Amino acid sequence: MHYIEVENLNKSFTVRKKREKGRLTREKTVIHALQDVSFHIDEEELTGYIGPNGAGKSTSVKILSGILTPDSGKATVGGLTPWTERKKHVENIGVVFGQRMQLWWDVPILDSYRLLKDIYKIDKNDFENRLEELTDALDLKELLATPLRLMSLGQRMRAELCGSLLHSPKLLFLDEPTIGLDAVSKLKLREFLQKENKEKGTTILLTTHDMEDIAALCNRVMVLGHGKKLFDGQLPDLLSRYDTQRTIHVRYDTAPDFSSLPESCTLQKEGDNYIITYAPAELPTAEIIARLQQAGRMQEMTAQSQNIDHLIARMYREMDL
């Protein structure tokens, strides 16, 4: 039995149409947030869950965390149905929903953590050891006496993550965990999540628009669009469908002769650099490098794949998302 089992999950919302100029409207429309979505996740997996805004990611996570009830379908987490066995279910999960804060706004975060200790009935020694571990890993020790309202967005996200992990949940739902973080803090947080996953065995479902987070943390990725699951597999397999071009930057000692390059290649010149774009499916990389070497005496050469965000943007366009 898989740790998370989702079978034919459906959820719709009825919303009133926007008011037209000068008159009210009573017309309503139905939004199908989830349509027959099925998947499973094993224990200790770290899975990426991606898709454009409105794809249904947050709806499915809210169902799995017990906040929403589906219209139809089944879902279990650790053998429990989240929306019918919510009290028992929430003992084993941690949730960080973007900028929706669970910590109290006007009190020092240490006070919030102590309250969470009582809510989750955490043993005093376990609480102190876990708090020490988390505040050290998330660089929060100097902020324990600071109210949430006085923190930057990045600090608040780290404080929220700490609060969600105090009771050592088996499952962690993360929504945009690196939002507002600088490059150094992002790297540290990614290292922490990898350690939490591998050493603590925490199952993590990561929802984000930051594809660098997905590439750094997740081997498996699921793509949701228009409420439907469109892909479930390894990230390299997904990217290979849309990573159809490569770029090579070359600088020569003397003017090169590019007559051996096929017409399918595009050639640009920027200062002393030549930029060649080609499709590896049509012309293998080894062959184009050999032709570029024949073109003249090289000073420097750099090969680049497409930016991962550009690849995902192209994927969304081609999937009409």
Strands (E), 98-193: 171-175
Which CATH number does the domain 4-240 belong to among 3.40.50.300, 3.60.15.10, 1.10.760.10, 2.30.110.10?
3.40.50.300
Beta strand spans in 57-190 (E): 72-77, 93-97, 171-175
- Nearest Cα to Cα of residue 243 among 183, 303, 178, 320: 303
Q: Which fold has domain 246-305?
A: Alpha-Beta Plaits (3.30.70)
pLDDT of amino acid 1? 79
Q: Any idea what DSSP says for residue 211?
A: H
- The answer to which of 27-31, 87-91, 179-183, 215-219 has the lowest mean pLDDT is 179-183
Q: Of 26-30, 117-121, 210-214, which has the strongest mean pLDDT?
A: 117-121
- Angle value at C-alpha 310, between 190 and 59, nearest 5 degrees: 60
Taking the C-alpha atoms of residue 182 and residue 303, their distance in angstroms, rounded to an integer, is 27
pLDDT of residue 22: 60
* Dihedral sign, Cα of residue 285, residue 291, residue 292, residue 294: positive
DSSP strand pairing (220-225 vs 228-234): antiparallel
- As a whole number of angstroms, the distance between CA 37 and CA 195 comes to 30
- Domains 4-240 and 246-305 are alike in CATH topology: no
Mean pLDDT in residue range 31-38: 93
What are φ and ψ of residue 132, in 5° steps? -60, -45
User: pLDDT digits over 168-225, tens only?
Assistant: 999 999 988 887 778 888 888 899 999 999 999 999 999 988 888 888 899 899 998 8
pLDDT above 80 (res 75): yes
The yes-or-no verdict on residue 147 having pLDDT over 80 is yes
Confidence of residue 157 (pLDDT cuts 50, 70, 90): confident
The CA radius of gyration of the chain, in Å to the nearest whole number, is 25
pLDDT 10s digits, 240-255: 777 778 889 999 998 9
pLDDT reported for residue 15:
81
| 318 closest CA partner among 223, 186, 252 | 223
Predicted pLDDT of residue 20: 65
pLDDT at 102 over 90: no
Residue 99 has what pLDDT?
A: 61
Chain-centroid distance of CA 83 in Å reads: 24
Backbone phi, then psi, for 266, in 5-degree steps?
-105, 145
Q: How far is CA 22 from CA 19, 26, 32, in A?
A: 8, 14, 29
Residue 74 has pLDDT above 90, yes or no: yes
Q: Which residues pair with 249 in a beta bridge?
A: 275, 302
- Residue pair 222/49 in contact (Cβ under 8 Å)? The answer is yes
Domain range list for the chain: 4-240, 246-305
- Nearest 10 degrees: CA dihedral of 237, 243, 249, 250? 70
Q: DSSP letter string over 278-289?
A: E-TTTS-HHHHH
